[in-house]
A and B are shown apart, each in its own frame.
Chain A
Amino acid sequence: AQSVAQPEDQVNVAEGNPLTVKCTYSVSGNPYLFWYVQYPNRGLQFLLKYITGDNLVKGSYGFEAEFNKSQTSFHLKKPSALVSDSALYFCAVRDPLSSASKIIFGSGTRLSIRP
């Protein structure tokens, strides 16, 4: 069965420092991977996705993520954090070998950027 894990409930980073939000996955085939961001009392917004090709994908707001097949990871990164990056981040995975419409979300990581 497919699954996704975000091992850190919270990540704290000083403004201007690099940030990493971790995600690992388990699927039976080659995964389709996604990152979303959620601000308080709002819906989720799409940041970026990995389908195939270059392992480093770039997305919105200066975020990027690196797909690592051997470590089954898809960590979200940003070279220089902003206070406005503070939000809840979700990693999600779809296994193309399973139900076409089923996408699984991680439990979320709260990112807090201090000035």
Chain B
Amino acid sequence: DGGITQSPKYLFRKEGQNVTLSCEQNLNHDAMYWYRQDPGQGLRLIYYSQIVNDFQKGDIAEGYSVSREKKESFPLTVTSAQKNPTAFYLCASGAIDVNTGELFFGEGSRLTVL
């Protein structure tokens, strides 16, 4: 059945290490997003992509990088430049009429920096 798969669900990282979070969707959606969730702050947009090989920075892109080589995949790399990376990361996708359509979310990846 269709949906969005994020992996890993839990990830631990030492300071100074890069880590990549996977996001795969089989909903045939053009748009994909990465959000960061911290307690009491809601969801903040990191990066989004409306089409393959193109993506835009969101509100908190510093210290993160993404790629969109395939329609189905939108991996997020948390680099060592991200000062406070411990958070819950959510990937989402939306249909081509993204203005009026709702987003579909994965189950999230919780990153903890030791």
Residues of A within 8 A of B (CB): 6, 9, 32, 34, 36, 41-46, 49, 51, 90, 94, 96, 99-108
Contacts and interface: CB of A to CB of B under 8 A. Distances in A.
8 contacts: A34-B102, A44-B90, A90-B43, A94-B99, A100-B50, A100-B98, A101-B31, A101-B56
Contacts of A34: 102-103
Given A51-B100, A101-B31, A43 B42 contact: no
A94 B6 CA distance: 25
Contacts of A51: 100
Given A43-B90, A107-B41, A107-B42, A32 B106 contact: no
A51 B98 CA distance: 12
B107 A42 contact: yes
Given A9-B40, A105-B42, A107-B41, A42 B108 contact: yes
A27 to B, nearest CB: 12
A112 to B, nearest CB: 16
B45 A102 contact: yes
Given A51-B100, A102-B48, A107-B42, A43 B105 contact: yes
Interface of B: 4, 6, 31, 33, 35, 40-43, 45, 48, 50, 56, 58, 88, 90, 92, 94, 98-100, 102-108, 110
B102 to A, nearest CB: 4
B9 to A, nearest CB: 8
A46 B108 contact: no
A101 B43 contact: no
Contacts of B33: 101, 103
Contacts of A32: 99-100
Contacts of A9: 40
Contacts of A105: 35, 42-43
B39 to A, nearest CB: 9
A108 B90 contact: no
Nearest to B3: A43
Contact of A49 (B4, B6, B42, B102): B102
Contacts of B105: 36, 43-45
